[in-house]
Every structure is written in structure tokens, then in C-alpha cells.
């Protein structure tokens, strides 16, 4: 990712520092499916931002690695984890996803909210442990316009065709998919 992009994200997250912290929890589209998410194992939160998803997964009992390009967001996520008593379950690191996913164990959950990079589709699916859950959302071309980082109709299902779809949707400017790797 370019230095300009990193600086833009840092500035965006720095503005959040003076605002109320975002709620800890999954993307709203996954709320009806929380029973699908495991309560033990490892999770990878890709482009985790301030850590709302990672902290929710840690509250459920998972060991979580959250990664984001913004050092500002990562520092905020670390503080939130400590303040929430989840510092022992969450590890956050600055990671330029242009270089691929960070190293780590197979994941029982790969979680990626509001981020889209097709180059990461195969590595995300490969990172799943047998029976692992993929939860991904991306801005949608259907209701949100076009662009490089927006998912086209059916794109997520096609990108993760090797996984068993649990649920999917494309509404309110957001495409999303919840799918499981076979055992």
C-alpha cells in the first residue's frame, strides 16, 4: 500500500480517537448468525481497523490476530483490548496486505469487514482450518457504485466457490458472505 494510502487511513483513525469507541461486535449482517461462530480456536481479522470484530471474537473465547495497514488503528485496537480485559486474547499488528496475509496458524475464523482485495481471496480460503468459518463483507457495486474495492454481483460467492455458503447478501451498499470450509 502506498504511503499516501497509509497516511489517509491514519488520519481517518486519528479523528476517531476523540469520538466514542465503536461498539464491540460483528458486522451487523452477521448478527443473525452468531451461533455459527466458534467459541474456541484461532481467528484472523483482516483490515481490523479499531478492532470491533477482533474484540468480539476474543470475547467469544478465540485467540485473535488482527491486522491493519494503519499504525494509528492498531494502537487504538491494542488500547481497546487492554481496556476490555482482552489483551491476553488479542494480538494486533501493522500489516501491509499488499504483501499478503500475515503469518500465523490455521484459523477457525477468517473475518474481514468492509475490505476487498481479490488477491487475498485464495490465501484467505487457504488459511481456514478444516471446518473453519469465513465471514467477509465488502462495499457493493449493486447499491453503492463501482470501483476497484467494491464487490460485483455474485463476486464473493464465486471467489470462495470452494466453501459451503451458509448465508449471503447484497443490500444497503454492502455485499457479504458467510461460508464454511469442509472438514
**Local confidence band at 3 (pLDDT 50, 70, 90 cut-offs):** confident
> Backbone phi, then psi, for 176, in 5-degree steps?
-150, 155
Neighbouring residues of 54: CB distance < 8 A, sequence distance ≥ 6? 43, 45, 48, 64, 66, 77, 81, 90, 92, 111
**Local confidence band at 50 (pLDDT 50, 70, 90 cut-offs):** very high
CA gap 127, 23 in Å, rounded: 27
pLDDT digit string (tens) for 145-155? Answer: 666 678 998 99
Average pLDDT of 75-100? 95
- For residue 135, give the H/E element and its range: strand 128-139
Q: Which residue has the higher pLDDT, 10 or 142?
A: 142
Rounded to two decimals, the pTM is 0.91
Distances (CA, A) of 142 to 34, 66, 148, 152: 26, 29, 13, 7
Which grid cell sits at 66?
A: 488482527
Domain containing 167: what range?
A: 3-180
Domains contained in the chain, number: 1
Q: Residue 74's domain is classified under what CATH number?
A: 3.40.50.150
> What pLDDT sits at residue 23?
79
> What pLDDT sits at residue 21?
59
Amino acid at each position: 500500500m502506498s504511503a499516501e494510502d497509509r497516511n489517509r487511513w491514519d488520519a481517518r483513525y486519528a479523528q476517531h480517537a476523540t469520538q466514542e469507541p465503536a461498539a464491540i461486535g460483528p458486522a451487523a449482517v452477521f448478527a443473525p448468525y452468531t451461533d455459527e461462530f466458534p467459541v474456541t480456536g484461532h481467528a484472523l481479522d483482516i483490515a481490523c481497523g479499531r478492532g470491533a470484530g477482533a474484540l468480539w471474537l476474543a470475547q467469544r473465547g478465540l485467540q485473535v490476530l488482527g491486522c491493519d495497514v494503519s499504525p494509528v488503528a492498531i494502537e487504538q485496537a491494542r488500547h481497546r483490548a487492554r481496556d476490555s480485559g482482552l489483551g491476553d486474547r488479542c494480538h494486533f499488528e501493522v500489516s501491509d496486505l499488499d504483501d499478503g496475509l500475515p503469518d500465523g496458524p490455521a484459523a477457525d475464523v477468517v473475518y474481514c469487514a468492509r475490505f476487498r482485495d481479490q488477491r487475498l481471496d485464495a490465501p484467505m480460503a487457504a488459511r481456514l482450518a478444516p471446518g473453519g468459518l469465513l465471514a467477509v463483507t465488502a462495499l457493493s457495486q449493486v447499491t453503492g457504485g463501482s470501483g476497484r474495492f467494491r464487490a460485483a454481483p455474485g463476486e464473493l460467492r464465486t471467489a470462495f466457490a470452494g466453501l459451503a455458503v451458509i448465508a449471503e447478501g447484497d443490500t444497503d451498499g454492502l455485499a457479504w458472505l458467510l461460508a464454511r470450509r469442509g472438514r
